[in-house]
Amino acid sequence: MMEDLDLGFDEQDRGEKGKHRRGAVRKRQGGSGGGGRGKTVLALLLALVLLGGIGGGAFYGFDRVQSYFVTPDYDGAGTGEVTVEIKRGALIADMANALVAADVVKSAKAFIEAAEANARSKNIQPGTYKLRKQMSGESAVTAMLDLKNRIVNGVTIPEGRTAKNVYKLLSEKTKIPVKDFEAAAKDPIARGVPDWWFKRTDNKKVKPSIEGFLYPDTYEIPPKATAESILELMVENFLSVTQEMQFADRVQKERGGISPYEALIVASLAQAEAGNKDDLGKVARVAYNRVFGEFPCNCLEMDVTVNYYLELTGQKTKTSGQMTAADLDNPKNPYNRKLKGLVPTPINNPGKQAMEGAMDPPPGKWLFFVAIDREGHSEFAETYEEHRKNEAKAKEAGII
């Protein structure tokens, strides 16, 4: 009877030793022989019975039998982020091995089968890809065919860089002169920033600036890119991220009547002042409390606004200890830390977490904060007396 046992192989499968096959079980259509999924299940059951007949200790082999019929694969589009390099001349199997090593796919077989099932997989090019961990084979193939996930000529813009600093980074990578980026940025609306963003509720006049809208991320720069097209790409990314966050809608509904632009200014202040991402929301809350709360001058009193003006005017930035009285209270400085209300524009280009902190800050009546450890964590205080005690902790830790 054993020689009549059909485990779902055909004669062609038996004769193709050494060649890669799409799966150990071929799907058959029509005919009284049936085949297909029913025969696969029957084969698994028979294999289990045979192994069980040998003895309980033989069950360890069931996983090996099962993996022959069922390809190990993750479900869905994965999580997190990882970059994977595909070397020039790599075959599909080489790509699969690189993805397994980075835990993008569960098995080389999962990716190979998905690639064979997708006629466009031959278009996957060498280069560096931004992917997710633990993707299904099919999702990995789809992601690698999406050009936005391929970093060919990438430049990374860190969070919290000013526009002037961004232009310098872009120029170094692309060889496009800084002055071209400065010229392209003069009209942020032409670069894609909707005019409704430049609204304030504090009656201060707005002079549109691209500062704050150059979203920090890693960008693939096309070969024939211009200063205009690169800035437009960054603005488009900003609009996509903030729309996904519902930033403008939530700010208008939840932040007591301030505009999305004012919240973006606060996000940039938090990005500059917070020494640790854990404190971004709390620093945003301090900014709101100082300007719109019971702070005597309703001013920001933040040195980072002074440094922004220094950089904007081509001067060297300073530490708090280096700043003179003239620096701190310069009447010609529109970013003067003692002026009532928020500064005219964002002072850098904040990341997503800083914007989340400004959109939805934790509740608190804090008016002061100071860094107290080497990791940049701050202590927050409602009164100046409490703040002085926190400053003593910072001095004891050698932070200030």
DSSP 188: T
Q: How high is the pLDDT of residue 86?
A: 85
Decide if pLDDT at 10 tops 60.
Answer: no
| Long-range CB contacts for residues 22-26, cutoff 8 Å, separation at least 24 | 22/113, 22/116, 22/117, 23/71, 23/113, 24/68, 24/69, 25/69
* 128-173 per-position pLDDT tens digit: 889 999 999 999 999 999 988 987 777 999 999 999 999 999 999 9
Return d(Cα 219, Cα 283) in angstroms, integer.
29
Question: In this predicted structure, which of 51-60, 230-239, 243-252, 347-356 has the lowest mean pLDDT?
Answer: 51-60
* 67-88 per-position pLDDT tens digit: 556 889 999 999 999 989 888 6
Q: How high is the pLDDT of residue 47?
A: 53
Specify the higher pLDDT residue, 62 or 220. 220
Average pLDDT over residues 89-101: 93
Q: Are 394 and 371 in contact (CB under 8 A)?
A: yes
β-bridge mates for residue 128, sequence order: 85, 151
Note the pTM of the prediction, 2 decimals.
0.67
Q: How high is the pLDDT of residue 34?
A: 43
Return d(Cα 102, Cα 130) in angstroms, integer.
11
Task: Name the H helices within 146-279.
Answer: 163-174, 178-185, 227-245, 247-254, 260-273
Provide the mean pLDDT of the chain.
86
Average pLDDT over residues 33-55: 50
Q: How high is the pLDDT of residue 362?
A: 98
Specify the higher pLDDT residue, 53 or 329. 329
Return d(Cα 245, Cα 251) in angstroms, integer.
11
Q: Are 149 and 216 in contact (CB under 8 A)?
A: no
Residue 177: C-alpha distances to residues 154, 170, 171, 212 (Å): 18, 9, 6, 21
Residues 6+ positions from 382 with CB-CB distance below 8 Å: 364, 365, 366, 367, 368
Q: Are 201 and 215 in contact (CB under 8 A)?
A: no
Decide if pLDDT at 299 tops 50.
Answer: yes
* 180-223 per-position pLDDT tens digit: 999 999 999 999 999 999 999 999 999 999 999 999 998 878 76
Q: How high is the pLDDT of residue 4?
A: 43
Decide if pLDDT at 366 tops 80.
Answer: yes
Q: Which two tokens stand for residue 322?
A: 């280096």
399 pLDDT band (50/70/90 cuts)? confident
Q: How high is the pLDDT of residue 45?
A: 55
Q: How high is the pLDDT of residue 150?
A: 84
- Closest by CA to 308, choosing from 198, 163, 150, is 163
Residue 31: CB atoms within 10 A of its CB come to: 7
Q: Are 364 and 179 in contact (CB under 8 A)?
A: no
Q: How high is the pLDDT of residue 148?
A: 85
